[in-house]
Amino acid sequence: MGAGCRSVGDERWFFGSAEEWTALAERLKQTPCPHCKRVGALIWHGFLNGFDESSPRQKTVRARRIFCSNRNARPGCGRTFSVWIASKIRRLGLTAGALWRFLQGAVADGILAAARALDCRLSDRAWQRIWQRFKLAQSKIRTALLGRCPPPESLPRPPTNPKRQAAAHVLAHLQAAFPDVNCPIADFQLTMRAFFM
């Protein structure tokens, strides 16, 4: 399911590198608004900041807001939307890379073992919630991945706990869809124009 099928309220843009960011910034004035499709009204409108394990004491930029300006006789619709850094996860104090390592570890060795291996200052309950959030997102992730490639027929390594079979399949599918990248979750967000979870 591509961005075109989503309601405009869901429109998300992601970028994966400083070069992509610069390119987007340079062509903002020529870029149509995702809501009203008008060109020439988009302006920068602040940042969304948050903590994650890459910077536990200082907030880092997670996304930038863009405003389709209707002020000063501009032709815009007055709505805003976000451009997200693909390696950030909304409402979560983990980068996409750490989330990927955690999910792989949780499938292989269990949630608490995976959490301990990561050395992030989150409580056991927080890790449980992250796992639950991933479980809730699984069917949406699977549907999105099916538009890109079929799921792999077998698992590289079956999970020790059979309850995690479905999760293991989703992660294997994700890896098959984005092979040879550092973090398939960041590439998922970038390519699908959708939050991983």
* Whole-angstrom distance, CA of residue 108 vs CA of residue 161: 8
Contact status: 66 vs Zn ion (CB under 5 A): no
Contacts of 72 (CB under 8 A, 6+ apart): none
Is the dihedral angle over the CA atoms 66, 71, 72, 74 positive or is it negative? positive
CB of 15 to Zn ion, least distance (A): 20
Contact status: 76 vs Zn ion (CB under 5 A): yes
Do 185 and 100 touch, CB atoms closer than 8 A?
yes
Contact status: 3 vs Zn ion (CB under 5 A): no
Contact status: 8 vs Zn ion (CB under 5 A): no
What is the number of other CB atoms lying within 10 angstroms of the CB of residue 2? 11
According to CB under 5 A, which one of 3, 24, 77, 126 is a site residue for Zn ion?
A: 77
Contact status: 118 vs Zn ion (CB under 5 A): no
Closest CB to Zn ion among residues 8, 108: 8
* Residue 131, H or E segment: helix 124-146
Site string for Zn ion, 35-54 (x = CB under 5 A): xx------------------
Query: What is the binding site for Zn ion (CB under 5 A)?
Result: 33, 35-36, 68, 76-77
